[in-house]
Amino acid sequence: MQSQDVTERQESDLISADLSAVTDDTQLREVLSAAAEGGPICRSRRGVEVLDYDTIAALVGDARLDSQDASVYERMGGPPSLLRFADQGLLVAMRGEQHRRLKQVLKAGFRVRHVADQQGAMRDLASALADQSLDGPCDFVAAFSSPFPMQVLCRLIGIPAEDVGLFSTAATELHLLAAVPLDPHFPRIEAALRTLADYTGQLIDTRRRHPEDDIITSLIEVQQTAGKLSDEELAWSLVNLIFAGQDTTRYQLASAVYELIQHDLWGQLHRTPELVPAAVDEALRIRPVTRFVVRIPHEPVLIHDVRVETGRRVILNLMAGSADESRFEQPHEFRMDRPQRYALPFGWGFHHCLGATLARSEMEAALTVLASEFSDVHLEGQPEFTAPTGMLHGPETLPLRFRR
């Protein structure tokens, strides 16, 4: 990442990448590729952009860099519910001891066996949803990729099936947390957070009186044993699980289907369903739902030969890292035989995503069912995508026709 013998450069010496006019992924790749020709880092209006895979991987868990915390939303004039959510439930906005404490409890309650025990149920849910929604032309996002992860998550957490619709609507609204600018969306974010927090609080009270074999009950047990999580932190942490488990999978699953169609690989997956895990890996790489991660240095750092000052935004550009030619041969090709996996989406160590196993399991279950039940799928119109330079990216609509 850096050498002791190099001459330090300043940020002003870097190539400037203009992302303001980018309208689709093709343009974004062109801009990032041109910037990478000048070196592994550049600058943009967002901050210092890190473009190469190895440096991104090293900086994700670098102790000298912090995540953005709740003060970011406070400076924006965010509503009270958003500030409480960021302070007491949003793990990516926490630092230090609080992050370690909450993650320790959540990890103990979010047992891998809960996910493993749901493998068959995930496939059953996917098959039932496909039978119900995918006959004839459909919007795949509305018909499948949005309701499926919410159904799985509610079942896993312990939310009654009749409340899935309520949760899906509110959780989907929270995708606005990635909007730029953010403040026009504060009223909708506030309403969604109030809905989720009120409901999770009531459900926690119910599970205390009537325990079941679900994540909420497990978290209550850990909370009572370890005594490290307040009731409010528990409620907001559940909101975070719902938020994190809905939006990213909704986008990533739809993106995976889209890329398989674009690269004419659906037939191969239908004939060879054992390739599904490799297809999930490649879909995570070629069109990552999380486009970048923000880190803030709490001391000056040298990234390659460039000095980045305290408080400056460092943008770990996952889209650029996923197309790094020094790591991935023919990076813009969808290949299910790559020797190296793309490991950036879920982070490492301290910042490893709690829901990584669940997200992969959901995508594998869904693609296994869809690829086995449908021999062909093709576009019925132009999909609508979120902004390619946003923090989260994926299809908002995906008009498809499936053929059994």
pLDDT (tens digit per residue) in 110-128: 665 667 678 888 999 999 9
Confirm if 171 and 156 have CB atoms less than 8 A apart. no
Backbone phi, psi, residue 123, to 5°: -65, -40
Task: Please indicate, yes or no, if residue 99 is contained in any of the structural domains.
Answer: yes
Task: Please indicate, yes or no, if residue 1 is contained in any of the structural domains.
Answer: no
Confirm if 342 and 281 have CB atoms less than 8 A apart. yes
Task: Please indicate, yes or no, if residue 3 is contained in any of the structural domains.
Answer: no
Across 9-48, b (16+ Cβ under 10 Å) vs e yields eebeebeebebeebeebeebbebbeebbeebbbbbbebbb
Q: Is 32 helix (H, G, I), strand (E, B) or coil?
A: helix
Q: Which parts of 270-334 are beta strand (E)?
A: 292-297, 301-303, 306-308, 314-317
Q: Is 154 helix (H, G, I), strand (E, B) or coil?
A: helix
- Are β-strands 65-66 and 399-403 bridged in parallel, bridged antiparallel, or unpaired? unpaired
Task: Please indicate, yes or no, if residue 315 is contained in any of the structural domains.
Answer: yes
Q: In the block, which residue shows the tokens 């009223």?
A: 187
Q: Is 374 helix (H, G, I), strand (E, B) or coil?
A: coil
Residue 380: how many CB atoms within 10 A of its CB? 15
DSSP annotation of 340: S
pLDDT (tens digit per residue) in 230-242: 888 888 888 888 8
What's this model's pTM, rounded to 2 decimal places?
0.88
pLDDT (tens digit per residue) in 18-71: 998 899 999 999 999 999 998 999 999 999 999 999 999 999 888 898 887 778
pLDDT (tens digit per residue) in 97-113: 777 777 777 776 666 56
Residue 160: how many CB atoms within 10 A of its CB? 11
For the chain, the domain total comes to: 1
Task: Please indicate, yes or no, if residue 342 is contained in any of the structural domains.
Answer: yes
* Domain boundaries, position 272: 11-403
Task: Please indicate, yes or no, if residue 292 is contained in any of the structural domains.
Answer: yes
Task: Please indicate, yes or no, if residue 89 is contained in any of the structural domains.
Answer: yes
Task: Please indicate, yes or no, if residue 2 is contained in any of the structural domains.
Answer: no
Q: Is 278 helix (H, G, I), strand (E, B) or coil?
A: helix
CATH of the domain at 146: 1.10.630.10
Q: What CA–CA distance (Å, rounded) separates 249 from 158?
A: 19
